[in-house]
């Protein structure tokens, strides 16, 4: 997929995230809009995973450690053909497998997550198994910035560096906010880069809502041979919807019908600009 | 039948784990082992020496170890984690719950130094709540073998069972009385001695105390049916009912808090299907302390004399 196609995908994905969250009347809107560009690039450019090879032990793996932003993942998995998109009309409904956090009842999901601080160790274990079996696959996770306060992450960081898991990549969705407020006011995580480097990982920073920059970074892993890769993705919570960007209540706020149409209008305008740009070239 | 279960010497159940892990490693190339800095305590050396590429030291990071094990299971391995029972359960309960049980990962959580009998380290390490915690997790199998040979056999058997397992064993030297040749069947109660007056259901180290108590009571003319419940979950309900429908009263014996352990599992079956008087030989909702295993079992009411007393009490309640 070209960069422009990825950009168009991101707009489409944002529209779908809002559609299904509004239909459900529940969801983690801000976080899903924050990570969608990362998932877009991983699934459409970087990872070797699809419904056709999902049972192949050699497939690449993605585990969403910040499980609450599951709506973004559902939308991408549906687009990849793991299940019909209209299934998402049952999101968060009684008896639907599309519940509020990832479960393996949904095809395409690698791991049940939800409680924070679990995904990184699981990915490290998976990367370790792949190394032992000589499988050239990569394992990816997205961590939340608030989640970095979980001690289990730091245990896993130590372990992954010790075992030189350069087939492991953690992407930090660094939107600088968590449910209560700014990270800096809740529990500051700076200087995060120095901390992760001190734990023996190779670190780089990228605009996490820029698909071109993400592609450049995620297509060139590991950052350093012999070290796990930690990508600090600077993102914006609620990205793409101007009234949501950086506004705390959209952590799990659901737009009203009026707000929904305003958001869709904004995305349609972005979509139009992108397609005109395409014609122009 | 009581005479058939004689001690052939003393060995620790954790040594049985070490021997069983080595055998499981030989039989199953997918078996891998992890340890949070307690290799010597868990007796994992034979496995590590034979299969160094299949052993992963995690350092003192138990939550991480459980996550790593879940990830290794995703990669098709059969991970055995090794640490003390308190660090295998309470410390990592959310990992057991979310990353292993809820995610149906084929992880074998192997826990040594369970109960009072670890001795000198005292209350922090003497977990008495672990059976309760693990049996409440959907999908978990919970096993507490009674001697070296049974622990070895159980350690090998769980490799062939798909799904999460909590395998609980201990530190002290303890009588070995189960024949090495006896196969281990997960979920199948082991009838040690037939009797008519009372059913004694025992697990772990307390199985030996139950046998000794039954021998003493036989001399007084009281006939005890002694059943070894090595698998607390899934519980062999039919074996429980077969016995109690005959004896109509019950003693349970375990090295665990009386809340949430084997006794409660048995009571739950009986209240639903065959109500009968029951006495608990278990720790009465308290923490432990330092001491020799026998001193502690005596103080906290888990000795042979306590099983005898419980039998006599329950017989007075029998209709
Ligand atoms: Mg955040």
d(Cα B312, Cα B201) in Å, to the nearest integer?
A: 15
pLDDT for residue A277 is more than 90: no
Contact between A122 and B68 using a beta-carbon 8 Å cutoff: yes
Cis peptide before B76, with omega less than 30 degrees from 0? no
Residue B182 lies in a domain: no
Residue B62 annotated in active site = yes
Domain boundary among B175, B206, B228: B175
The answer to whether residues B169 and B211 belong to one domain is: no
Reported ipTM: the value is 0.91
Domain that holds residue B103: 9-175
- Give backbone dihedrals phi and psi of A215, rounded to 5 degrees, phi first: -60, -50
Sign of the C-alpha dihedral computed for residues B124, B125, B128 and B134 taken in this order: positive
Residue with tokens 């052939």: B8
pLDDT, one tens digit per residue, over A210-236 is 999 999 999 999 999 999 999 999 999
- From the list A104, A123, A163, the residue facing B103 with the nearest CB is A104
Same domain (yes/no): B22, B123: yes
Query: A211 CB contacts (<8 Å, ≥6 apart)?
Result: A3, A6, A7, A10, A37, A40, A41
In DSSP terms, B5 is beta-bridged to none
pLDDT beyond 90 at A94: yes
B281 φ, ψ (degrees, to nearest 5): -105, 105
B201 and B52 in a common domain:
no
Domain boundary among B151, B175, B199: B175
Near ion ligand 1, which residues have CB within 5 Å?
A 144-145, 175, 177-178
- State which of B119, B144, B175 marks the end of a domain: B175
| Predicted pLDDT of residue A48 | 98
Please check whether residues B215 and B158 belong to one and the same domain: no
Residue B24 token pair: 């499981």
pLDDT for residue A261: 97
Cα A247 to ligand 1 centroid, rounded to whole Å? 12
Q: How far is the CA of A59 from the centre of ligand 1 (A)?
A: 29
Angle between helix A70-79 and A29-41 (nearest 10)? 40
* Residue span of the structural domain in which A67 resides: 3-280
Inter-chain touch A125–B58, beta carbons under 8 Å: no
Cβ pair A262, A243 in contact under 8 A = yes
Catalytic residue among B30, B49, B62, B255: B62
B71/A130 CB distance under 8 A: no
Which tokens is A25 given?
């009347």
Tens digit of each residue's pLDDT (9 = 90 or more) over A229-258:
999 999 999 999 999 999 999 998 999 999
> Cα B228 to chain center, whole Å?
10
The pLDDT assigned to A90 comes to 96
Contact A155 B63 (CB under 8 A): yes
- Using an 8 Å CB-CB cutoff, list chain B residues near A132: 32, 53-54, 75, 77
Cα separation, A38 vs A10, in Å, equals: 9
For residues B161 and B200, membership in a common domain is answered with no
Distances (CA, A) of A167 to A108, A171, B219, B306: 20, 13, 67, 57
| B47 and B167 inside one domain | yes
- Whether residue A279 has pLDDT greater than 70: no
Q: Collapse the DSSP code of B143 into the 3-class scheme (helix H, G, I; strand E, B; otherwise coil) and give the result.
A: strand
Burial class (CB in 10 A: 0-12, 13-18, 19+), B249: buried
Q: What percent of chain A has pLDDT over 70?
A: 99
Q: Are residues B152 and B15 in the same domain?
A: yes
User: What CATH number is associated with residue B121?
Assistant: 3.40.50.970
pLDDT, residue A278, reads 60
- Beta strand A139-144 pairing with A168-174: parallel
State the pLDDT at residue A139: 98
> Nearest 5°: phi and psi at B55?
-115, 135
B198 shares a domain with B165: no
Q: Is B1 part of a structural domain of the chain?
A: no
Compute the average pLDDT of residues A163-178.
98
Residues B35 and B151 in one domain: yes
pLDDT of residue A280: 55
Give chain B's domain count.
2
- In chain B, which residues have their Cβ closer than 8 Å to the Cβ of A100? none
Q: Half-sphere exposure (CA, 13 Å, Cβ side) for B99?
A: 35
- Establish, for the pair of chains A and B, how many residue pairs have beta carbons separated by less than 8 Å: 105
| Alpha-carbon distances, residue A17 vs A88, A145, A171, A255, A264 (angstroms) | 10, 21, 21, 11, 11
Question: Residues B201, B171: one domain?
Answer: no
CA gap A19, A21 in Å, rounded: 6
CA angle A76, A82, A84 (to 5 degrees): 85
User: Residue B13 domain-assigned?
Assistant: yes
Cβ within 8 Å of A, B 35-74: 53-54, 56, 58-59, 61, 63-64, 66-74
Collect all residues with Cβ–Cβ distance below 8 Å to A243 and sequence separation of at least 6: A259, A262, A263
A204/A66 Cα distance (integer angstroms): 20
CB A240 within 8 Å of CB A29: no
Q: What is the CATH number of the domain that holds A22?
A: 3.40.50.970
Residue A163, Cα to own-chain centre: how many angstroms?
25
Q: Are A70 and A28 in contact (CB under 8 A)?
A: yes
How far are the Cα atoms of B36, B142, B234 from residue B162, in angstroms, in the given order? 23, 13, 14
Beta-carbon neighbour count of residue B230 at 10 Å?
A: 28
Query: How many structural domains is chain A composed of?
Result: 1
Record: contact A159-B76, CB cut-off 8 A: no
Chain A residues with beta carbon closer than 8 angstroms to that of B98: 112-115, 118
How far apart, in Å, are the Cα atoms of A255 and each of A13, A26, A119, A242?
16, 10, 29, 13
pLDDT of chain B along its 319 residues, tens only?
Answer: 899 999 999 999 999 999 999 999 999 999 999 999 999 999 999 999 999 999 999 999 999 999 999 999 999 999 999 999 999 999 999 999 999 999 999 999 999 999 999 998 999 999 999 999 999 999 999 999 999 999 999 999 999 999 999 999 999 999 999 999 999 999 999 999 999 999 999 999 999 999 999 999 999 999 999 999 999 999 999 999 999 999 999 999 999 999 999 999 999 999 999 999 999 999 999 999 999 999 999 999 999 999 999 999 999 999 8
Alpha helices in chain B (DSSP H): 13-27, 39-42, 45-50, 62-74, 85-88, 93-94, 130-135, 148-157, 206-219, 237-247, 262-273, 293-299, 304-317
Q: CATH number of the domain that B264 lies in? A: 3.40.50.920
Distance A147 CA to ligand 1 centre (A): 8
B4 within domain boundaries = no
């Amino acid at each position: 997929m070209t960069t422009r196609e990825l950009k168009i995908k991101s707009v489409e994905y944002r529209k779908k995230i809002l559609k299904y969250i509004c239909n459900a009347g529940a969801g983690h809107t801000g976080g899903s809009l924050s990570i969608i560009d990362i998932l877009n690039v991983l699934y459409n450019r970087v990872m070797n995973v699809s419904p056709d090879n999902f049972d192949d032990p050699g497939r690449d793996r993605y585990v969403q450690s910040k499980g609450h932003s599951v709506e973004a993942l559902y939308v991408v998995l549906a687009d990849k053909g793991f299940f019909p998109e209209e299934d998402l009309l049952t999101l968060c409904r009684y008896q639907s497998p599309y519940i509020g956090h990832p479960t393996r009842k949904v095809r395409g999901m690698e791991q049940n997550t939800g409680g924070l601080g679990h995904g990184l160790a699981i990915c490290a274990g998976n990367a370790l198994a792949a190394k032992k079996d000589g499988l050239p696959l990569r394992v990816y996770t997205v961590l939340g910035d608030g989640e970095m306060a979980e001690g289990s992450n730091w245990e896993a960081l130590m372990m992954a560096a010790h075992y030189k898991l350069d087939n492991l990549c953690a992407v930090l969705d660094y939107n600088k906010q968590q449910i209560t407020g700014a990270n800096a006011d809740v529990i500051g995580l700076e200087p995060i880069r120095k901390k992760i480097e001190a734990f023996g990982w190779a670190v780089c920073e990228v605009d996490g809502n820029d698909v071109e920059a993400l592609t450049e970074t995620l297509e060139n892993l590991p950052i350093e041979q012999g070290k796990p890769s930690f990508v600090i993705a600077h993102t914006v919570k609620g990205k793409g919807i101007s009234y949501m960007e950086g506004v705390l209540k959209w952590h799990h706020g659901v737009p009203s019908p009026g707000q929904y149409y305003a958001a869709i209008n904004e995305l349609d305008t972005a979509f139009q600009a992108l397609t005109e740009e395409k014609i122009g070239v | 039948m009581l005479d058939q279960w004689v001690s052939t010497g003393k060995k620790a159940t954790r040594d049985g784990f070490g021997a069983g892990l080595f055998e499981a490693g030989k039989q199953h190339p997918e078996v891998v082992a992890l340890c949070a800095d307690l290799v010597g305590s868990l007796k994992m050396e034979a496995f590590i020496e034979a299969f160094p590429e299949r052993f992963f030291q995690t350092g003192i990071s138990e939550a991480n170890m459980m996550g790593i094990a879940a990830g290794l299971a995703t990669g098709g391995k059969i991970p055995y984690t090794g640490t003390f029972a308190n660090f295998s359960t309470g410390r990592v309960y959310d990992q057991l719950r979310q990353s292993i049980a809820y995610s149906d990962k084929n992880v074998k959580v192997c826990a040594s130094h369970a109960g009072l009998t670890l001795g000198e380290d005292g209350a922090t390490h003497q977990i008495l709540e672990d059976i309760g915690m693990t049996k409440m997790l959907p999908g978990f199998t919970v096993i507490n073998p009674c001697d070296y040979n049974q622990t070895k056999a159980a350690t090998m058997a769980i490799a062939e069972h798909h799904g999460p397992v909590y395998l609980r064993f201990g530190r002290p030297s303890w009588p070995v009385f189960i024949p090495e040749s006896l196969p281990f069947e997960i979920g199948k109660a082991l009838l040690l001695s037939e009797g008519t007056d009372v059913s004694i259901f025992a697990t772990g180290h307390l199985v030996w105390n139950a046998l000794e108590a039954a021998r003493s009571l036989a001399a007084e003319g009281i006939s005890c049916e002694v059943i070894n419940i090595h698998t607390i979950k899934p519980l062999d309900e039919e074996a429980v009912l077969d016995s109690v429908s005959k004896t109509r009263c019950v003693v349970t014996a375990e090295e665990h808090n009386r809340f949430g352990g084997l006794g409660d599992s048995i009571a739950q079956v009986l209240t639903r299907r065959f109500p009968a008087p029951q006495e608990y030989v278990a720790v009465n909702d308290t923490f432990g302390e330092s001491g020799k295993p026998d001193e502690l079992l005596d103080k906290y009411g888990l000795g042979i004399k306590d099983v005898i007393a419980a039998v006599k009490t329950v017989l007075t309640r029998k209709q």
